[in-house]
Structure formats: C-alpha cells, structure tokens
Structure 1
C-alpha cells in the first residue's frame, strides 16, 4: 500500500499528517508513506528526522501577500502542477491525503482528476482557502470541529477530531527532566508559540518573571522561543535568575509535555488536540491574525469548558501572564479540575478514525480497477 500525504508549511498542518502516517504504519508495517511539501516549509526539517521520504514541489501561498508576491505565487501554481504530475506518475499511490497548506492543493486536485482516491483533513474550525476548494472535489473530508462541517459537502464529511502522534502520549517523565536539564521536584511551565515562536508570548514571559520573583525557587520554565528571539530571551532568563531551559526549537514535544504542569501556548488546532489528549492545564494566547479568528474561537471553547485560561494577544502583558501562572501554581484543585475538563475534550482516537475512512476509500478504489 502506497500513501501520499501532502501539505505542511506549519506544524499545525504537518503533525496531524505524521499522526496519520504513524497509524498507517501501525496497521501495516509494509505500508509506504511518502510526504509531499516544499523546501521552505517546516516539513523539510521534520519529515527526514521522522524517517519518512519527502518529495518537494514548487509552491507558495497567495493569501495575505503583496501584489508582486501574489503574481509570483500564481505563476508557481503551474510549476506546482508540473511537479505534482511527475510525482504521481512515478509513485502511482493508492491514496493521496491533503492535510492543509498551499502545498497540498495541486497534487490532491491532480490525483482526483486521475481517479486516485483522495481525501483531506481540516484541522481548524474555520477552513483555509486550499481545503475549501479541495473539499468540493475530493472523495472524503475529515474535520476536527463540528463548526466546520457546514463548510464542506454533506454526505462525504466526517467529524473525526485532529490526529495526534502516539508518542505524544508516551513521554517518560523522569527521563524528560534529565533531557531538558530540569529539576524533578519543581513546578514546571512549558512555553511555546508554535514552530517559529511567538514574539508577544516571549516578551510577556520575560516581563512576567518580574512578577514571580518570590517563586523563583519554586517554579522552573521550559521555553521554546523560535530562532529569532532565542539569544535575547535566554539572556533575559539568565539576568532574572530564573531556573529552566530555553531553546530555539524543541523536537521532543512528548517529553516537553511530560514535564509540564502548565502549558502556555498559541491556540492552534494541533496544539489543542495534544493538550486535551494529555489533559494539560493551559494558558492560551490565540494568534490574532489566524484566518477567521479560528484560534480565538478554539481558545474560547476550552475556556468555556473550564479547561484553560485565555489571554488575548493585545492583552498579553507580563502582569496578566504572571497572575495566571501564580493562580495555577497555588491552586492544585483548580489544576485538577482543568485537567479533567481538558481530557473530556480530547480525541486520542482521531488518527484511527481518519485511517479507517482512508482504508475504505482504498478498498473501493481497488475494486473499481
């Protein structure tokens, strides 16, 4: 069985694809899973580390770009189609699955035109442009949130949840403390702003240290900053005398979650799928420019269910963040209640549901050939 998973650009698109690949390999060790993405996306770094082959196409996003870049990106659609056609011809896959991002568009569309079984997975409550277009032509659509069901044709749209990698659930706590050079008897706050960091979160966290000086010997931090802010944030922690580890990027997310008593993060769908599957209390800071404000809607849902605090990006200041961290540190009963609420929202079986649908498509495709 040969499976092509197309998409990426951000971890929010890529990591569900990896979870789907993992489920295919779990069911059939001889399955061949090939990823398709761009050389500039996060997939170029992550996929080789995960041990899967990846094919690159020339493609750029169009939404939100300057006129010149829009013209350039439109021209690259032709190149993307040429690259995608070549890949399909060489691989002859049993199914092509799009997981979002502009690099999924051409190859999923061309696969459908060649009568190769196709499906997409939409992570967000507000679907992106690529998936809205592909939803009209693919055989099946899997969605994370009920709110996005109405954006796709009835009859072929399924509510599955957002697939998470199995290893996310298997971080070994004691080994993880050693991995990140953390103390195993301290309250740990894990801060990250997505694969490339979030400047507003980084700055607010540094400022928050000024309001947490009395807890300096009781709280430690694991902070993924992104490459851009790494040196400055690391130096700020050093000057504040705060305990913990600062890194530009953390590949070992399972281990990072394992040591976390509280998570401070953006509210992307994949991050929330991981947090809720693990039941981690969270302080969510929605990315304000997400399409259709979907991160804000995601965060509001968790807040309403008692699973998280939420701070809007324009209100993200050190004093506010420190107040939330202090409350979660001091109130163990609150953390336990948030954990129960979070786990109630989690869907750890989402990957299995997506692959069930994919396997059905593959079987139907084989019967017709």
Structure 2
C-alpha cells in the first residue's frame, strides 16, 4: 500500500497527518507513506524526525495578499501541479490524503484528475480557503466540528474528530521527567503559542511573572517561545527567580503535556484536540487573525462546555494572565471539573475512523 499525505505549513495541519500515518502503520506495517509539503513549512523539520520520507513542492497562500503576490502565488500553484504530477507518476499511490494548507492543493487536485482516491481532513469549525476549494473535488472530507458540514457536500462529509498522535495518548511520565527535568512536586504550567511561538503570549507571560512572585516556590514553567523571543523570555524567568525550562521549540509534546498541570496556548484545532483527548485544563488565548476568527470559535466552544478558560488577545495583559494562573493553581476542584469536561469533548479514536474511511475509498 502506498499513501501520500499532503499539506502542512503549521503543526495544526501536520500533526493530524502524522496521527493518521501512525494508525496506517499500526495496521499495515509494510505500508509506504510519503509526506509532501514545502521546504519552509514545519514539515521540513518534523517529518524527518518522525522517520517518514518527504517530498517538496512550491506553494504560497492567496488570502490577504496583494495583487502582485496573488499573481505570483498562482504561477507557483501551476508549478506545483506539474511537480505533483511527477510525484504521482513516480509513486503511484493508492490514495492521497490532504491535511490542509496550501501545500495540499496541487497534490490533491492533481490526484483527483488522475483518478486516484482523495480524502481531506478539516480540523477547524470554519474551513480555510484550501479545503473549501478542494472539497468540491475530493471523494471524502473528515470533520472535527459539526458546524463545518455546512461548508461541504453532506454526502461526502464524515464527522470523525481530529486525529491525535498515539504518543500524546500513551504518555510515559518517567520519560517525560527525563526529557524535561523539572521538579515533580511543583505545580507546572506549560506555555506555548504554536510552532513559531506567539509574541503577545510571550510578552504577557513575562509581565505576569511580576504578579506571581509570591508563588515562586510553588509553581514552575515549561515555555516554548519560538526563536525570536527566546533570549528575552529565558532571561525574565532567570532574573525573577522562577524555576522552569524555556525552549524555542518543543518536539516532545507528549512529554510536555505529561509534566504539566495546566496549559496556556492558542486555540488551533489540533492543539485543542490534543488537550481534550488527554483532559488537560487550559487557558486559551485565540490567535486574533485566524481565518474567519475560527480560533475564537474553537475556544468559545470549549469554554461553554467548562473545559477551558478564554482570554481574548485584545484583553491579554500580565495581570489578567497571572490572575487566571493563580485561580487555577488554588482551585483544584475547578481543574478536575475542566479535566472531566475536556475528556468528554475529546475524540481519541479519530485516527482509526479516518483510516477506516481511507481503506474503504481504496477498496472502491
């Protein structure tokens, strides 16, 4: 069996693809899985570490670009069609699975016109441009949210949930504390703002430390900053005497979740799928410029269920963030209730459902 998984650009698109690949490998150890993405997306770094081969196409976004950049992106798209054709001719896959992002468009579209079964994953409540376009052509669309069905053909849409990697679900606490050697008895806050970090979250967290000085002996942090803010954030923790680990990027997310009592993060669909699958209490700070404001929609849904607390980016400050951290630190009952609500929302079997669907398309 040969399978192409196309797309990426961000962890939100890529990690569900990895979860699907893991489930395929679990069932079919000899399956040949090839990822296709761009050389500047997160997939270029992550996929080789995961042990899968990857091929690159050129792809650029259209939404929110100037006329000149849109023309340039269209020319790049035509180039990606030719590149996709050559990859398909070489590999001859049984199915092409698109996981979102502009790197998926050329590959999935070309596969459709070559008569190869196609499937796309839609992680968000409001689909992005790439998936809305591809939804007209593909054989099946898997959805995380019921609300997404209105954007696609009902006959081709399947509510599966967003797939989560096995290592997220099967956590090893002993390994986690060897990867991140923090103190086991301290309350641990995991802060991250997506694969590239988030300036507003980093700045607010640095300011929040000044309001948490009385808790220095009780709480500690694991903070993924991104490359740009790394030195500034690391210096703030050191200067104010807080225990913790500051890194530009966290590859071992399962271990990071394992050591944390709460997380502070954006509200991308994949992040929410992970934290609900394992029942992790969260303070969500939706990215304010996400397409159709889908991150706020995602976050509000969890807050309404009691699974998270939401701070909008425009309302974010050090004092507000510190209060939210303090409230969850002192209120163990609230954390347990959030954990129960998160687990009720999470879908640990999404990858299995998606692979079932992919196999049925191949058999057809």
TM over 0.5: yes
Deviation track 1:50-72 (CA, whole Å, cap 9, x = no partner) reads 00000101111111223332221
Query: Is the CA contact 1:23–1:355 (under 8 Å) kept in the aligned structure 2?
Result: yes
- Runs of 4+ in structure 1 off by over 3 angstroms are none
Deviation track 1:99-145 (CA, whole Å, cap 9, x = no partner) reads 10001001101111111001101000000111111111111111110
Please give the TM-score of this superposition, normalised by the length of structure 2: 0.99
Q: Does 1:81 align with 2:92?
A: no
Question: Secondary structure in 2 aligned to 1:100?
Answer: coil
Structure 2 partner of 1:192: 192
Q: Which moved more, 1:55-64 or 1:30-39?
A: 55-64
What are the equivalent positions in structure 2 for 1:75-154 lying under 5 Å apart? 75-154=75-154
Structure 2 partner of 1:174: 174
**CA positional deviation for 1:166:** 0.5
Structure 2 partner of 1:367: none
**CA positional deviation for 1:78:** 1.3
**CA positional deviation for 1:353:** 0.4
Distance 2:64 2:46 in 1: 25
Distance 1:308 1:58 in 2: 38
Distance 1:305 1:20 in 2: 27
Structure 2 partner of 1:157: 157
Deviation track 1:345-365 (CA, whole Å, cap 9, x = no partner) reads 00000000000000000011x
Distance 1:211 1:178 in 2: 30
Structure 2 partner of 1:59: 59
Structure 2 partner of 1:344: 344
Structure 1 partner of 2:357: 357
Query: Is the CA contact 1:174–1:184 (under 8 Å) kept in the aligned structure 2?
Result: no
Distance 1:175 1:80 in 2: 41
Question: Secondary structure in 1 aligned to 2:286?
Answer: coil
Structure 2 partner of 1:310: 310
Distance 1:161 1:288 in 2: 24
Query: Is the CA contact 1:188–1:260 (under 8 Å) kept in the aligned structure 2?
Result: yes
Structure 2 partner of 1:247: 247
Distance 1:314 1:241 in 2: 28
Deviation track 1:196-219 (CA, whole Å, cap 9, x = no partner) reads 000000000011101111100000
Structure 2 partner of 1:269: 269
Two-structure CA RMSD over aligned residues (Å): 0.7
Distance 2:334 2:228 in 1: 35
Structure 2 partner of 1:324: 324
Please give the TM-score of this superposition, normalised by the length of structure 1: 0.98
- Which consecutive residues of structure 1, in runs of 5 or more, have no partner in the other structure? 365-369
- Which consecutive residues of structure 2, in runs of 5 or more, have no partner in the other structure? none
Query: Is the CA contact 1:328–1:335 (under 8 Å) kept in the aligned structure 2?
Result: yes
**CA positional deviation for 1:177:** 2.1
Distance 2:334 2:230 in 1: 32
Question: Secondary structure in 2 aligned to 1:155?
Answer: helix
Query: Is the CA contact 1:187–1:218 (under 8 Å) kept in the aligned structure 2?
Result: yes
Structure 2 partner of 1:215: 215
Question: Secondary structure in 1 aligned to 2:155?
Answer: coil
Query: Is the CA contact 1:211–1:318 (under 8 Å) kept in the aligned structure 2?
Result: yes
Distance 1:280 1:50 in 2: 24
